[in-house]
């Protein structure tokens, strides 16, 4: 339960039996980069802030940032300033590992730039480029990476041949692979085929090894290049290959909201 209470003059909410501990809610919102204290107060009074699933409207309310969960307008807020979330556009040839036993380029060249001990959420094959999330938030990483939570991922694949509607239909209705059947959530052509190749956008929530390549090969269109463009609510956008950036407050809120929905949190 949130350690919420109201100070004298803070309102008439039910705060019986709760000790006046923790930090003021509007101060916590400000420290999290959500709003200035004045705007934070307006959000609280308007009933737009929840603590552990309960609307809090008292300006004197205090919470424990280490234990309590806060959301504004239904979007989760990260209260721990020690947590970091970094988007990386992984180039082809870089291994999704913090130490590669074969001596190939790995993620240490990226993570060394940050004070926090970051690790990758899930993996991309060495010959696949695109969006990779680096963080020191183990709970969130578990939700995003574990196949049972079914977080969507979107890829753009350059494939051999001209992809017909029948092939796209097979991808979404399901194909049989050596480790069992699987179906894409969505599949569509991007642009017009040219020079004997096509671009296919494939969205799925499976975490199987090299599953996109295997699915497309199964319908007769081997992949020649593959990039991940989306992971859950995160989009790669215009981030250049090999570059990193911290998630925005909006991106982080959407990501945490997704994680809390999957793990059953408030």
User: What dotted CATH number matches 1-79?
Assistant: 3.10.290.10
> CATH number of 152-231: 3.90.1310.10, 3.40.50.1220, 3.40.50.1820, 3.30.70.1560?
3.30.70.1560
114 dihedral zone (left: phi>0; alpha: psi -120 to 50; beta)? beta
Does the structure show a pLDDT above 80 at 257? yes
**pLDDT grade for 153, boundaries at 50, 70 and 90:** very high
Which residues are known catalytic residues?
Answer: 125
CA 219/CA 183 separation, integer angstroms: 12
Q: Which fold has domain 85-148+233-263?
A: Alpha-Beta Plaits (3.30.70)
Q: Given a cut of 70, is residue 14 above it in pLDDT?
A: no
pLDDT over 80 at 168, yes or no: yes
Q: Please answer whether residues 148 and 142 qualify as being in contact, where contact means their C-beta atoms are separated by less than 8 angstroms.
A: no
Tokens 């009933």 appear where? 47
Burial of 172 (0-12, 13-18, 19+ CB in 10 A): middle
pLDDT of residue 129: 98
Residue 249 backbone phi and psi in degrees, to 5: -60, -40
Are the CB atoms for 202 and 191 separated by under 8 Å? no
Confidence at residue 18, expressed as pLDDT on a 0 to 100 scale: 36
Alpha-carbon gap, residue 90 to 127, rounded angstroms: 10
List, by residue range, all CATH 3.30.70.580 domains of the chain.
85-148+233-263
* Residues carrying CATH 3.10.290.10, the chain: 1-79
Q: Cα–Cα distance between 20 and 166 in angstroms, integer?
A: 64
Comma-separated ranges of CATH 3.30.70.1560 domains in the chain:
152-231
- Start-to-end CA distance of the chain, whole Å, equals 11
Residue 77 is predicted with a pLDDT of: 94
Task: Give the neighbor-by-neighbor strand order of the sheet with 49-51.
Answer: 54-55, 49-51, 70-72, 75-77
- pLDDT tier at 146, thresholds 50, 70, 90: confident
In sequence order, the 6+-apart residues with CB closer than 8 A to the CB of 190 are: 156, 199, 200, 201
Could you give the CA distance from residue 35 to residue 43 in angstroms, rounded to a whole number? 9
Q: What is the mean pLDDT of residues 47-56?
A: 95
Beta carbons within 8 Å of 145's beta carbon, 6+ residues apart: 121, 122, 207
Number of Cα atoms under 13 Å in the Cβ half of residue 230: 13
Give Dmax (Cα) for the chain: 74
Confidence (pLDDT) at 12: 36
Q: How far apart are CA 108 and CA 149, in angstroms?
A: 28
117, two tokens? 């001990």
Q: How confident is the model at residue 17 (pLDDT cuts 50, 70, 90)?
A: very low
């Amino acid at each position: 339960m949130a350690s919420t209470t109201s100070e004298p003059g803070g309102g008439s909410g039910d705060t019986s039996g709760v000790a006046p501990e923790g930090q003021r809610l509007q101060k916590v919102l400000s420290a999290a980069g959500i709003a200035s204290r004045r705007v934070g107060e307006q959000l609280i009074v308007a009933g737009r802030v929840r603590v552990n699933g309960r609307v809090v409207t008292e300006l004197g309310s205090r919470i424990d940032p280490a234990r309590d969960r806060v959301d504004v307008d239904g979007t989760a807020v990260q209260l721990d300033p020690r947590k970091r979330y970094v988007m990386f556009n992984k180039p082809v040839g870089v291994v999704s590992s913090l130490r590669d036993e074969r001596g190939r380029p790995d993620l240490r060249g990226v993570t060394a730039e940050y004070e926090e001990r970051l690790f990758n959420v899930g993996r991309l094959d060495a010959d696949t480029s695109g969006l990779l999330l680096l963080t020191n938030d183990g709970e969130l990483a578990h939700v995003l990476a574990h196949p049972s939570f079914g977080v969507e991922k979107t890829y753009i694949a350059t494939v051999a041949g001209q992809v017909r509607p029948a092939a796209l239909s097979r991808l979404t209705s399901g194909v049989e692979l050596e480790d069992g059947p699987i179906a894409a959530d969505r599949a569509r052509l991007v642009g017009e085929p040219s020079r004997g190749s096509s671009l296919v956008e494939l969205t799925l929530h499976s975490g199987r090894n090299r599953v996109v390549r295997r699915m497309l090969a199964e319908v007769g269109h081997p992949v020649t290049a593959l990039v991940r463009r989306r992971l859950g609510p995160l989009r790669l956008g215009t981030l250049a290959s090999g570059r990193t950036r911290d998630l925005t407050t909006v991106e982080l809120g959407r990501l945490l909201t997704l994680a809390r929905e999957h793990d059953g949190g408030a």
